[in-house]
Structure 1
Amino acid sequence: MTAMIEPIAAAGKTFTVVRRRSWLPWLLAALILVGGIRLVAAAISSRILDLKVVARYILSEEILTGAVNTLMLGTTALAIALVLGLLVALMRLSRNRLLAPIAGGYVYVFRGTPLLIQIVFWFNAFPTMFPDFSLPVPFTGQALVQGKMTDLITPYLAALIALSLAEAAYMAEIIRAGMLAVDHGQREAVKALGMTPLSILRRVVLPQACRIILPATGNQYILLLKSSSLASVIGYLELVRISTDIYSANFRVVELLAIAAFWYLVMTAFVTALQSLLERTFPQR
């Protein structure tokens, strides 16, 4: 146990305060590190984890394709959810008696139903309810595009719709909380200067709200990347689905799951670093 000495000035006098550093965090870190090393060593020595299989597949084309598909689905869904979430948040903050309840109902429905049900609905139930689709040309009675809904709703599109709509409900609440945290007096002050509501939102509210929104958005991005594994049930070839297909053929379950977990950790590290970088670009409150 070591001590940390800090000089403190009070009432014209300087006092030396000795703060004791706790050894408990270091002990816990050491125990976790030793336990993790022993767990990996036991798995390798017992031949549960074959490193040759891991080395063979960890950079294979199939696994890398699955990782890219996971990242593409999660990133695209987050981008759509940010736009939809901002619109829903503005609707919830609106004084309009029609828009606010509609936005509240949207958030309630998509946060209250399991994501897996939403994915299966868009892939299986929606094409059954609306078997045909067409894009008519105005005033001509002709269809520019028409066909079967089952041909239009691919596993990727169904997963993208479900993830985007569900994530937008969470992002709406995050954005709304960030906007409410900005002092209302600032809005009144710039409004008195003649700024339009859109300019107030863009130049005053959102830059300050982003300091609150960004950490939660980073967490949601990570959750979205992991939730994309649910798309495997409808046949989308993301990381978990490809890993499952491989170990169904070679029966190396532990190795393929470890590889999938590794790539999820890599994506999480990337998102965390990106979040830290973006947080530095916004002013402190």
Structure 2
Amino acid sequence: MSAELIAEPSEVRIIRRKRWGAWLLGVAVLLILIIVAIAGARARIIDLDVFLQYLTSGEILIGARNAILVGTVSMVLALVVGLTAALMRLSGNPILSSVSATYVYFFRGTPMLIQILFWYNAFPTMFPRLYLAVPFTGAVLIDLPMPVVITPFIAAVVGLGLAEGAYMSEIIRGGILAVDKGQQAAARALGMTQPQMLGRVVIPQAARIIIPATGNQYIMLLKSTSLASVIGFLELLRITQGIYSANFQVVELLAVAAFWYLAMTAVVTAIQTTLEKLFPVR
């Protein structure tokens, strides 16, 4: 081959393809955002002084704390219930598998709001008292009226936790099924018991799939804590509604609530990103 036909590396020009469609779409989106921002500024829909006044008020911070508390406790319950239901579904026992499938179908198919209302209103009617005694001794351990036991906090946690547990069951089951069957067979060949195989082989690999979806579900659960406002639990939205029903600063108070929901979401996203780095998807 002639030397003239061989181009030197310094002479090679890289021509990047121009994506005019993406640029036009970006400009259109930017223009829409600018128009919305200008319209909001002209309408003066938010009084910044009121917004800043309530942003760090004690009542609002209590509501944010309660939202985090309910969301976190509900997520822990959902993880425990979801893992149990997933293992039941994969156990091969037709009774356990059927019970798990029915649970997932029922709790995924009914709105969280209905479930919260059920635990707060219907469950105490079905079981008026919580009674627990030692058999054959007559010693009473617990004897309380159920309305005392099922507080708004408990009803919110149970309603949200069981509903979210159905989703987590399918997420965990999908993660476990994604682990190669050959590795499980190898673990059994090494003499591992079922709990050892799950703890050392299956769960660590399934976590790479489970963690991103779990982070998304936790974010959704934090926002769903606002549903507990219908049973009088003092979470962020309930307190916000109480304040703006008194001072009529509706938009400003809703903006405050939205700010704290976004702040909670940002923290959870940072934690999720850190966990994903510990269990990278390969």
Question: TM-score, structure 2 length as denominator?
Answer: 0.91
Letter in 2 for 1:117: I
State the alpha-carbon separation in 2 of the partners of residues 26 and 68 from structure 1: 42
State the alpha-carbon separation in 2 of the partners of residues 129 and 66 from structure 1: 31
Q: Which residue of the other structure, out of 272, 277, 280, is the alignment partner of 2:277? A: 280
Once the two structures are TM-superposed, the CA of residue 114 in structure 1 deviates from its matched residue by 1.1
Once the two structures are TM-superposed, the CA of residue 173 in structure 1 deviates from its matched residue by 0.2
Structure 1 residues 113-145: Cα deviation after superposition (integer angstroms, max 9, x where no partner): 111110000001111111112221333213222
CA contact (8 A) 1:86 1:171 kept: yes
Percent identity between the two aligned chains:
59
Cross-structure match for 2:8? none
Cross-structure match for 1:105? 102
Does 2:164 correspond to 1:164?
no
Q: Secondary structure at the match of 1:144?
A: strand
State the alpha-carbon separation in 1 of the partners of residues 280 and 177 from structure 2: 17
Indicate the structure with greater helix content.
2
Does 2:56 correspond to 1:59?
yes
CA contact (8 A) 1:44 1:51 kept: no
Q: Which residue of the other structure, out of 103, 109, 133, is the alignment partner of 1:136? A: 133
State the alpha-carbon separation in 2 of the partners of residues 259 and 29 from structure 1: 29
State the alpha-carbon separation in 2 of the partners of residues 185 and 66 from structure 1: 49
Written as runs of structure 1 = structure 2, the 5 A alignment for 1:41-120 is 41-120=38-117
Provide the alpha-carbon RMSD of the alignment.
1.7
CA contact (8 A) 2:112 2:159 kept: yes
Indicate the structure with greater strand content.
1
Letter in 1 for 2:42: S
Structure 1 stretch displaced more, 135-144 or 165-174: 135-144
Q: Secondary structure at the match of 2:244?
A: helix
Q: 1:55 to 1:38 in 2, by over 3 A?
A: farther
State the alpha-carbon separation in 2 of the partners of residues 251 and 243 from structure 1: 11
State the alpha-carbon separation in 2 of the partners of residues 199 and 16 from structure 1: 58
Once the two structures are TM-superposed, the CA of residue 57 in structure 1 deviates from its matched residue by 0.3
Does 2:246 correspond to 1:249?
yes
Letter in 2 for 1:75: T
Letter in 1 for 2:91: S
CA contact (8 A) 1:44 1:50 kept: no
Once the two structures are TM-superposed, the CA of residue 33 in structure 1 deviates from its matched residue by 4.3
Cross-structure match for 2:183? 186
Cross-structure match for 1:236? 233
Number of residue-to-residue matches in the alignment: 271
CA contact (8 A) 1:181 1:209 kept: yes
Gaps of 5+ in 1: 1-14
Once the two structures are TM-superposed, the CA of residue 227 in structure 1 deviates from its matched residue by 0.9
Letter in 1 for 2:207: C
Q: Secondary structure at the match of 1:20?
A: coil
Once the two structures are TM-superposed, the CA of residue 47 in structure 1 deviates from its matched residue by 2.7
State the alpha-carbon separation in 2 of the partners of residues 16 and 160 from structure 1: 62
Structure 1 residues 37-82: Cα deviation after superposition (integer angstroms, max 9, x where no partner): 4434432432321111101101111111111111111111111111
State the alpha-carbon separation in 2 of the partners of residues 284 and 127 from structure 1: 46
Cross-structure match for 1:221? 218
Gaps of 5+ in 2: 1-11
CA contact (8 A) 1:120 1:234 kept: yes
Structure 1 residues 135-181: Cα deviation after superposition (integer angstroms, max 9, x where no partner): 21333213222121111111000000001111111000000000000
CA contact (8 A) 1:208 1:283 kept: no
Cross-structure match for 2:263? 266
Cross-structure match for 1:149? 146
Cross-structure match for 2:209? 212
Q: Secondary structure at the match of 1:178?
A: helix
Structure 1 stretch displaced more, 118-127 or 189-198: 189-198
Q: 1:263 to 1:36 in 2, by over 3 A?
A: farther
Once the two structures are TM-superposed, the CA of residue 196 in structure 1 deviates from its matched residue by 1.4
Letter in 2 for 1:206: I
